[in-house]
Structure formats: C-alpha cells, structure tokens
Amino acid sequence: MSTNRLFLIFCSVIATLFFWHYLGEKAILKDNSNSFDKLQCVSYAPYGKDESPFFFEKGMVLKEENIRKDMELLSKYTSCVRTYSTVGQELVPKVAKELGMQVLMGIWIGKEEKQAVAEIATLKELAAQYPEVIKAIIVGNEVLLRGDQTDVQLAKYIKEVKEALPQYPVTYADVWEFWLKYPKIKELTDFVTIHILPYWEDEPKNIHDSIEHVKNVRIEVEKELGTSNILIGETGWPSEGRMREDAAPSKINQAIYIRDFVKLANEHNWQYNIIEAIDQSWKRKSEGAVGGFWGIFDKDRADKNVFSGDVSNFPNYLYLAFGSLVLILGFFLRFKNEQTSTIRLITFSVVNTVFATLFMLQVEQYVVISRNNLEAIWAILLLGTQLYVYYELLKHIVSKNQYEIISKVAFYFSMIFVFIMTVNIAYNGRYENFEIYGLIILAISFLWSYFGKFDRLKFGNFERLFAIILFINTLVMVYNETTLNIFSNILAVINLVFVIILCVGSLKNSSLNELKKPIIYIVAICIAILLFKHGFIMNRDMDISCKLNGGGFLCSIVGNVWYLLYFNYIGIAAIIASAFALLVDKKPFIITALVLSILASMLTNTFLGAIAFIIVLYAITKDKDKKLLN
C-alpha cells in the first residue's frame, strides 16, 4: 500500500476519533449550580421494559419484588410518586407504606364506564388498606384532551369519588389549555392539576424558551382560574425522539430542562410532579419513539444523570467510533489495489470518512427508534440499500470508467423509501421520525453518479408524476413542521435532490400535458378527503356531540372509519385494490384504488397508503401507448 494511501487512512482515523470523542466527551452538559438531589414527586408506572398495561387483560401480574426495587431506587430521590391507575397496581401503595412514601393516586377514566367503575372500586379498597399513604386522588388523566368523556360525565366521576372518600383532596389532571377551556371543573376539585409540557405544545418551545414558557403558563392559569392552589402534575423533557419544530429531544436537553425547572419551582414555591421516573417502552407503540424516553432513569433503571453530573448525548460513542473505523478501513482495504489519481484518492478518503460517520449515526438512530420486528425489517432494508449505494459511489470515485452509474434499481428502492417516509411525516407525522442520516448518503451518491448522465436514466411518465407528488408532499411536510425544524429542512433538501433527478431524467420521455388528467384526479380526490377528514373524522365538536347525544348516522360512520383505521383495514384494502387495479388495468378499479390509497395516506394508515399509492401511479402510467385515465 502506497505512502499516500497510508497517510489518508491515518487522517481518516484521526478525524473519526476526534469527531466521536468530541460528541461523546466534549459536547456535553457539565455539572453546574442547578444540580439537585430531591424531587417533590415523580410519575411512576410499575412496568418493566417488556411489560405493558395492555397485558393485564392477558393475565399479566406485576411482581412485588420488581416494584420494590423500583421504589427503593426512587425513594433516594423523592418521597412521593404519582400513579395513573389502580387496577393491577395495588402493590404500589403497599410498598410505598413500607418505604415511608406517599402516592398521588390516579384512577384511569377512559371511554368505557365499566373500567371507571372498577378503578373507583379498587381505589376505595386501597384507601381502606393504606389510608396514610394517599396524598391526594387524581380522577382521570387528560380525559378531556383525548375526548374520552365529556366534561359533564367527568364531573359525575369526580363527585362520586369526593362523596365516597371525603377525607382526601381530589383533583383532575389535564393540559393547562383544557383547564382554561373548562374552568368549571375547578369548582368540583380541591386543587387544580395542570400539565405543562413545552415539547408537546401545539406550538412547541425549544429548550432555551421552555422554562420561561412554563413560568408564563403557570402565572396565566393562576390568574384565569383565580387560585394559587395549583399542582404542575406533569412536566419534563424527552431524552430521545423526533424533533418538533425547534424542540429537540436529547439527554442533555432533558437534564437542562429538569434542573432549570426544579430551580424555578423552588424559587416560586410551586408544587410539582415530574414525568417520569423510568422510561416506559410500551408508550412507544402509541406515542412513537419519543414516548418511551421521558424517564429520569432508563428502561434498565440506569441513571441518566438528570439530577447532577456530566451528561453526554452519545455515552456509547466508543461503539459508534469503532463501527465507523470498521467501515473506513474495510473500504480502504477493498479498493487498495485500485490505481487512481491523488485527487480521486483524497476524494475517496473524504467521502468514505463522512459516509461512515453518517451510516453509524443512522444505525444508532434505528437502535433507539425501532419498536417491533416490522420496523427492524424496515431499518435493515434501508441500511442495506444505503451501504450498497455507499459502496457503489466509492467504486465510482476510484473507477477508470466514469461513464458507469449507480444501479437504477437501487435508485428506485431509495426513492420509494423517501416517498414513504415523507408521506408518513406529512400526514401522520406527530410520532414519526426523521431518518435523515442514511438518506444524505443516498442523495449525495445518486446526484454525484447521475450528474451529467441524466439522459441515460430514460425515465418516463411514472417517474415524472412520482416527482410531482413527492414535491407536493414535501411542501405539506415543511408547512406542518415549519422551517424551524432542521431535520425537516434537511429531508426537504434530500427530497428535492430526488425530484430533480426524476424530472431531469424524464424530460425526453415524458410530457406534462399527458399528466394533466391524473393530476386533476389526484388533486380532486385529495380535496374531497381533506374536507371529509376535517369536517367529520377530526371534528372535535362533532365528537363531543356524538358522546352527549348517543350517536346517530354520521356518528356511526365516523366510528366505523376510526375502527377500520385502527386495525389498518383501510390501508390493507388500498394495497389489495391497487394490486388488483394493476392487474386488471380498468379505469373504475384504478380510480377506486386511487381513492383508497389517498384516504389511507391522508388519515392514519400512511405507510400502507403510500405503498398502495405508488402501485396506483405505476398502474396509471405503465402503458406508454395508452392515454392516462381515459
């Protein structure tokens, strides 16, 4: 191996080690004067990393030894825990009594009355057994926010608990806006319990503005409700997950937020409860990856150093550095015998170093966000494609034959991945993630390989129509996420690279005039579904009316649609319809498949809807000799 190659390998290794060491050891939060050692109260869900409250109906029984270990750990940092349900969690007050702790005991109020009845019955039993443990009773958590019950029905439950257990203070917990929307609830409770979560606000607050926001909200609620008897029942910050506008989850931001909040609360003598004690993996299913990372301890009960000490966003940086070095050295060895110019060798070294780092960042993200086997398969497919394209670009850089391009098959796979991801974020993005690191590899590689050779791609109507729809979905995504979200902005740039490649590559074999009719159909269907979505499916006033008046024809339709969406039946129907339309190639079937695929995409079956939509696009455009949708 030449001296030049050895020197470039040395430079790549040093640059990589410096980068990961900087992220892991230097770009950290240092222990400071805001460190603390005690919390007033903390939310506690007594579930292990493989447990869930949904397993109770399958016969799950929580082990006392596990609850005891958790609460012994928590007792070092607080004398109070908040729970959200009584059924299945009867051991919590028992262990709390033994440890001299108290419980803000919550009862879960959902959609079903029998669940509320069971919760209240268990509450009465626990109050009789452990009267000194219960600090207060919280009747329902964010019931009005979810729309599970009306304020009228909620009031009945609050009154029932107060009459049954008059010796305890009783409250209701919800986000602060809903206390302002339903101020009469205050008249029924002994104190007000508000949730202030800057990350989850309709207009999210970044870490620098979050504490001031909490302060302003607390003052506003006190002024509007005319009481200072307020418990901040939930506040906190996630350590992992997707960015919302410029609110970024991270281990450092979580520590900053909680340390600064506790200091603020102590200065103003506020009552508070931090969410939450331990990361709850089961929440990732309904809240996305971010839902599982609000704990001050991780799922294995390891300390995140939220209270004090140095905090790094990449405590595992040595593993990531090792992975990067394996890739860098592996590809250097693979192409060690290639004869090429010094400029190309330097380019190879730079690209190899940058791509190895991006690839390991993507691997690390997938380790954090993947929730099940299907998402693991998705991650493997993307990582496999990204690694192949990474390799192909390096080969292209050192190759003597610069006329070669990266496989179109790899490009088609990549553009489909990008499309599905964009549709997910544009129409169902609250809990979706920005998997941008590996996509940067794809965008750079394809643009590099195809630049100046677009005529060789020979794209047609399918690719051009695909580009138009991808561009529109990108605009929707940026509108929803706002330009404050740097991850959204980067994904938008990546999408534009794919749009440019698709459009320029299809100039000679496609006509916008031929695409007018499909575009008109798609736009018309989208408008109709948007009206249906916001006029019926997402209409909160209609939902409340249905609960108050016991339903009706329209309420029945909306309920059935939500049922179909919950089980992904609309998405499955869209896949079947699109496959059938592709085989039969008749206009009525294509239109039906188009409607179902857009319906699934714009509601909550976005993943299946996006796949179905791609199939329909191909069905519309596959016959070059046939006028589209005639």
Number of domains within the chain? 3
Total Cβ atoms within 10 A of residue 458: 12
Does 327 map to a domain? no
Contact 294, 236 (CB under 8 A): yes
Same domain, residue pair 193 and 128: yes
Same domain, residue pair 365 and 488: yes
Predicted local confidence at residue 628, as pLDDT: 66
Residue-wise pLDDT tens digits, 587-617: 999 999 999 999 999 999 999 999 999 999 9
Same domain, residue pair 277 and 348: no
Residue-wise pLDDT tens digits, 496-555: 999 999 999 999 888 888 899 999 999 999 999 999 998 888 887 777 777 767 667 788
Checking 149-155 for CB contacts under 8 A at 24+ apart, the result is 149/109, 149/111, 149/547, 150/544, 150/547, 150/548, 151/182, 151/184, 151/185, 152/548, 153/547, 154/109, 154/185, 155/184, 155/185, 155/188
For residue 531, the SS3 value is helix
The pTM assigned to this predicted structure is 0.93
Does 200 map to a domain? yes
Contact 103, 83 (CB under 8 A): yes
Distance CA(280)–CA(45), nearest Å, equals: 8
Does 578 map to a domain? yes
**Is residue 625's pLDDT more than 80?**
no
Same domain, residue pair 525 and 478: no
Predicted local confidence at residue 627, as pLDDT: 59
- Nearest by Cα to 76 from 39, 49, 119, 29: 39
Contact 307, 260 (CB under 8 A): no
Does 22 map to a domain? no
Rounded (10°) angle between helices 408-428 and 373-398: 140
Least confident of 20-34, 385-399, 437-451, 477-491: 20-34
Same domain, residue pair 470 and 529: no
For residue 307, which phi and psi values (nearest 5 degrees)? -70, -45
Farthest-apart Cα atoms in the chain, separation: 86
Distance CA(445)–CA(352), nearest Å, equals: 12
Return the structure tokens found at 148: 């599970």
Contact 44, 81 (CB under 8 A): yes
Of 505, 535, 561, the position where a domain reaches its end is 505
Of 470, 485, 505, the position where a domain reaches its end is 505
Same domain, residue pair 500 and 525: no
Distance CA(322)–CA(357), nearest Å, equals: 10
The secondary structure of the chain in percent helix, strand, coil, rounded to multiples of 5, reads 65, 10, 30
The model's confidence at residue 191, banded by pLDDT at 50, 70 and 90, is very high
Distance CA(157)–CA(188), nearest Å, equals: 10
Predicted local confidence at residue 35, as pLDDT: 72
Checking 516-519 for CB contacts under 8 A at 24+ apart, the result is 517/627, 517/628, 517/629, 517/630, 518/465, 518/617, 518/620, 518/621, 518/628, 518/629, 519/465, 519/468
Same domain, residue pair 364 and 215: no
Place of tokens 């990372």: 293
Distance CA(610)–CA(598), nearest Å, equals: 8
Predicted local confidence at residue 536, as pLDDT: 84
Same domain, residue pair 34 and 91: yes
Same domain, residue pair 525 and 400: no
Residue-wise pLDDT tens digits, 123-168: 999 999 999 999 999 999 999 999 899 999 999 999 999 999 999 9
Predicted local confidence at residue 57, as pLDDT: 81
Amino acid code (one letter) for 204? P
Does 597 map to a domain? yes
Q: Which alpha helices (DSSP H) does 23-175 contain, by range?
A: 64-74, 91-99, 113-129, 143-146, 151-164
Distance CA(337)–CA(208), nearest Å, equals: 52
Predicted local confidence at residue 542, as pLDDT: 79
Residue-wise pLDDT tens digits, 403-447: 789 999 999 999 999 999 999 999 999 889 999 999 999 999 999
Predicted local confidence at residue 245, as pLDDT: 95
Q: In terms of pLDDT, which residue wins out, 39 or 399?
A: 39
Residue 574 belongs to what domain range?
Answer: 514-621
Of 486, 505, 524, the position where a domain reaches its end is 505
Predicted local confidence at residue 36, as pLDDT: 77
Does 319 map to a domain? no
Contact 179, 185 (CB under 8 A): yes
Residue 28: strand pairing partners: 312
Contact 23, 338 (CB under 8 A): no
% of the chain residues with pLDDT over 70 = 98
| Helices and strands, counts by H and E, the chain | 23, 10
| DSSP code of residue 601 | H
Vertex 21: Cα angle to 18 and 23 (nearest 5): 110
Does 328 map to a domain? no
Does 362 map to a domain? yes
% of the chain residues with pLDDT over 90 = 81
Contact 199, 256 (CB under 8 A): no
Same domain, residue pair 292 and 348: no
Predicted local confidence at residue 1, as pLDDT: 62
Same domain, residue pair 68 and 162: yes
For residue 342, the SS3 value is helix
Distance CA(613)–CA(598), nearest Å, equals: 7
CATH code assigned at 65? 3.20.20.80
Residue-wise pLDDT tens digits, 250-291: 999 999 999 999 999 999 999 999 999 999 999 998 898 999
Distance CA(27)–CA(330), nearest Å, equals: 28
| DSSP code of residue 22 | I
Distance from the first to the final alpha carbon of the chain: 63
- Nearest by Cα to 428 from 241, 603, 294, 198: 603
Same domain, residue pair 447 and 518: no
Residue-wise pLDDT tens digits, 3-44: 888 999 999 999 999 999 999 998 899 887 677 778 999 999
Residue-wise pLDDT tens digits, 280-331: 999 998 898 999 999 999 999 999 999 989 999 999 999 999 999 999 999 9
Residue 39: strand pairing partners: 78
